[in-house]
Structure 1
């Protein structure tokens, strides 16, 4: 086959080019599937949801169009968690329907500790804005980030007190591996960008060339 030699040369160069992406995909994929997802999510660290206290007749809040309304226990009392049609959220008193203020720093610390079975010492409580959420939250909501001494971090919605996320060192490593796997370490969400698509296309071409050349290599032997 006259084209065998140039095709073999192209195959070798492609193998060198896609060798690094293939190594990254294989190593990160192996690590991610080897970790139990419950361990990554910190499921065993979460405290069970507290039971709702006894309350009288419920009064729904009014004044804004609601998308959803749910009852939740917070700090020993029941509160409405309201999501608005315009994307906002707030909490309200179920006994009166009166809107309640957002979470303060002390409440955030208390609710975060209550969300864990065996909470370590609290290292920091910081407010994060909706328009610049941290990389380990990635949700456009104002939040309180409560960081514990063991590396665990709980994000609470600053308007409603709802638990948005629990992040551990295990989760952060998994998230970094995922970003490396999809070649998007900045946002860690884009699975359809030119670098990834181009690398996958070159890898596929290298495999197809290898399969095409395999019969000729076998025949020579």
Structure 2
């Protein structure tokens, strides 16, 4: 009976060791990424300190002539100095169409206008723009509607601003802290493609393996002291 118990403990140790080897690297990555997430300021990651507080602006509604219905959702905002644009939400698709106050589709911002928007709405002295029309799964502007203007200071190309050419919104500010966060988030959730799926089969598998490793370790911790005390 005693030899059977020792054999069972020996087998449990072997399986615990194997599980620990398999999960050790991922457990380390979870720990490292978790420490980073806990200590980094999320506002810094999102680039919020670079955004400028915009002054409130009185709007004269008499200048608007829009083809909308009573159920239409409207958003009015300044795009450039002295220019207002109106976002009309399509009730069927949920997409926002940006119009002039007279109801005409807005013209996309030019490169110079995009730089002006960045200067007006952030503290980033952008002087270079790039027209972004294609998306990749791990792009730092993923989830945003294309096309976009990417703007940055030639002396600090790692700090990038993404501007919606229709609304003039700053849709994203990307910096080194964000890229570190994004990389560690990819390792944390084990989604190596688009980095947004928190339900990957790899994450589920390694979560179960880590749980089994912990349970096996607790069982061994409980059994070994009893064995030692029985010899005393």
What corresponds to 2:115 in structure 1? Answer: 109
Query: Match for residue 79 of structure 2?
Result: 74
Query: Which residue of structure 2 aligns with residue 47 of structure 1?
Result: 52
* Contact 1:79–1:92, Cα closer than 8 Å, also in 2: yes
Moved over 4 A (4+): 63-67, 130-134
2:133 paired with 1:129: yes
- For residues 102 and 165 of structure 1, the distance between their equivalents in structure 2, rounded to whole angstroms, comes to 18
CA change 1:75–1:216 in 2 (3 A) is same
Alignment partner of 1:73: what SS?
Answer: strand
CA distance in 2, matches of 1:73, 1:84: 20
Give the structure-1-normalised TM-score: 0.87
Q: For 2:193, what is the secondary structure of its paired residue?
A: coil
Name the residue aligned to 2:145.
141
Structure 2 Cα separation of the partners of residues 199 and 184 of structure 1: 13
1:182 CA drift (Å): 1.0
Structure 1 counterpart of 2:90: 84
1:7 equivalent in structure 2: 12
Larger Rg, first or second structure (1 or 2): 2
Larger helix proportion of the pair? 2
CA distance in 1, matches of 2:95, 2:224: 65
Distance in 2 separating the partners of 1:141 and 1:66: 24
The equivalent position to 1:32 in structure 2, one of 34, 37, 40, is 37
| Number of residue pairs the alignment of both structures matches | 218
CA offset digits 1:165-221 (Å, max 9, x no partner):
111221111111111111123311111112111111111111111111112211233
Residue 80 of structure 1 and its aligned partner are, at CA, apart by: 1.3
Q: CA 1:185 to 1:154, structure 2 compared with 1: closer, same or farther past 3 Å?
A: same
TM-score norm. by structure 2 comes to 0.83
Question: Using the alignment, how far apart are the partners of 1:206 and 1:114 within structure 2?
Answer: 54
1:62 is aligned to 2:63: no
> In 2, distance between residues paired with 1:31 and 1:21?
15
Q: 2:141 and 2:222 mapped to 1: Cα distance? A: 51
Residue 56 (structure 1) shift:
5.5
Match of residue 217, structure 2, among 197, 210, 220: 210
Which structure 1 residue ranges, 5 or more long, are not aligned?
none
Residue deviations 1:93-117 (CA, integer Å, cap 9, x gap): 32x3333212222211111222213
Query: Which deviates further from its counterpart, 128-137 or 108-117?
Result: 128-137
